[in-house]
């Protein structure tokens, strides 16, 4: 499930093809004012999908069985 999203796209209106990265939300625990998340057994350290639609990126990250921060980047 997405708990936070970081949109690094320079082309903010492109949605057909983006690169998406999902990291466990607890990676953000050391950030100032961050809500705290606990690690979950079996979660991956980092997952990436390249060249997928924004909709697919959101659905993919929401379907993960642990809390994630979703990073969006322009497809290069």
Per-residue model confidence (pLDDT) at position 24: 96
Provide the β-strand partners of residue 52. 18
Nearest to 18 by CA among 55, 68, 67: 55
What does the pLDDT look like over 1-44, one tens digit per residue?
A: 999 999 999 999 999 999 999 999 999 999 999 999 998 888 88
**44 exposure class (CB count in 10 Å sphere: 0-12, 13-18, 19+):** exposed
Q: Is 25 helix (H, G, I), strand (E, B) or coil?
A: helix
Cα-Cα-Cα-Cα dihedral sign, residues 35, 39, 43, 46: positive
**CA quadruple 18, 22, 27, 28: dihedral sign:** positive
Q: Where are the domains of the chain?
A: 2-74
Global pTM reads 0.91
């Amino acid at each position: 499930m997405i708990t936070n999203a970081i949109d690094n796209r320079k082309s903010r209106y492109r949605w057909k093809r983006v690169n998406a990265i999902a990291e466990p939300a607890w990676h953000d625990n050391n950030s100032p004012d961050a809500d705290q998340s606990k690690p979950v057994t079996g979660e991956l350290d980092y997952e990436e999908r390249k060249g997928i639609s924004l909709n697919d990126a959101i659905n993919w990250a929401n379907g993960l069985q642990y809390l994630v921060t979703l990073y969006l980047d322009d497809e290069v």
